[in-house]
Structure formats: C-alpha cells, structure tokens
Chains A and B, each alone.
Chain A
Amino acid sequence: EIVLTQSPDFQSVTPKEKVTITCRASQSIGSSLHWYQQKPDQSPKFLIKYASQSISGVPSRFSGSGSGTDFTLTINSLEAEDAAAYYCHQSSSFPVSFGQGTRLEIK
C-alpha cells in the first residue's frame, strides 16, 4: 500500500500569506495525486486533480505541482475562508490512500 505523508500537520497563517503544503508518496505515483479541502463539519471538496490540473469553480489562488513522489499544494494570498484541513489522495495503486491531512488555522 502506498503511504502518503503530508507536511506540516498544522500551520497557523495570516491572511494574504502564501502557503505551501507538501505530500510525499512512499513510491512513485506519476501524476495520480489529487487534493481536497475539508472545512469544519463539511464534506471534502475537490480542489486539484492529477497533481496540477485545476477544477472548475475553485479559486485561482489554489495550485498544485509535482510528479513521482513529491507534490505541493500552494495557496497564494491566503483568505480567511481557506481555514480548513487539506488532504492529498493517490489513485495510482490499489488500495487508494489519503495523506493524514494538514490543518490550516488563520490568525
């Protein structure tokens, strides 16, 4: 089973700051890496597909990059509404798996 490790686990950030969350896979997964945002008491929301492809309706300040084993979610000019947990997800190998999550707190 492929293990995804996110860092950091938690980050406290100020509005307008740039945030970078990383996701490392235990083996190469090509570009089969996706990102979700989960706000408190809500369902996950699809954020980025296949490492770097944008999703319709998602603000352009969210972007993704990477391939192989190392991936990054970047949030440019953070807004208060971005307070949430962020999860990476690999679909390269069965069983699919998720990272442990990164919680963003807005100061």
Chain B
Amino acid sequence: EVQLLGSGGGLVQPGGSLRLSCAASGFTFSSYAMSWVRQAPGKGLEWVSGISGSGDSTYYADSVKGRFTISRDNSKNTLYLQMNSLRVEDTAVYYCAKALHSGTFYPFDYWGQGTLVTVSS
C-alpha cells in the first residue's frame, strides 16, 4: 500500500525558513517523480515544485522560484522541501504527491496527508 507521510510544518515568522519532509513507502521511490502541491486556507490547489526520480531534474512555480528547494534522498525514501524567505502568502497545507507513471511527472495518483505551514508575525 502506497503511503506518503508529510511532516515539518508549523508556525514561522515572515522571512523565516522551514523544511518539510515526506516519507514514502509501498512503492519503488526512486522510480517516480514527486511533487509538492499546496492549498491556502479555503482555496484551491497550486503546484509548487517537482523532482525527477533520480533527483537530477527539478522544477518550480514562479511564485517560489529562488526561495524554495526541492530534493530527495532515495536511500531514505524521503522527499524534502526547503522553504526560505517565507511570506505570509506561503501559508497553506503542503501535500506531497506521487506521479502516476515512472518517467513522467504528472498526474498524481497518491497524495500525502498534508502538513500545515503558517507564516505570521
């Protein structure tokens, strides 16, 4: 059974940093691209960043480029999102999501339970 367990969210001041983690199990982690998708309170879904199975290719939404860094440790079956220079508008539930097919980035067939990031002074 595929499981994605996100963690690392919390309350942080504007300008601060936070690192999210997503522990994966139930599939060959290194074979699949992974993404982070966020959802601001009461709002819709927004893709944030994606990384290939090997970790060689990474992509970012313009809204986070230069501030967020996606990475993965395939030996630990874990996905990360390092978030720096956080802004109030980054407040959201952050979901990790698995690509449907090996070798592609989208769509997403499994989602983590989400971890809440609150940016506020």
Using a CB–CB distance below 8 Å, which chain A residues touch chain B?
34, 36, 43-46, 49, 55, 87, 89, 91, 94-101
Contacts and interface: CB of A to CB of B under 8 A. Distances in A.
Interface in B75-121: 95, 100, 105-114
B27 interface: no
B61 interface: yes
B44 A43 contact: no
A49 B101 CA distance: 12
Contacts of A43: 95, 111-114
A29 to B, nearest CB: 12
Give the most central of A43, A55, A87: most B CB within 10 Å.
A43
Interface residues of B, number: 19
Given A95-B47, A97-B47, A98-B46, A46 B59 contact: no
Contacts of A89: 45, 106-108
A103 B114 CA distance: 20
B39 to A, nearest CB: 8
Contacts of B62: 95
B11 to A, nearest CB: 19
A94 B106 CA distance: 11
Interface in B25-76: 44-47, 59, 61-62
B112 A91 contact: no
B47 A49 contact: no
Contact of A46 (B61, B105, B107, B113): B107
B44 A100 contact: yes
Nearest to B47: A96
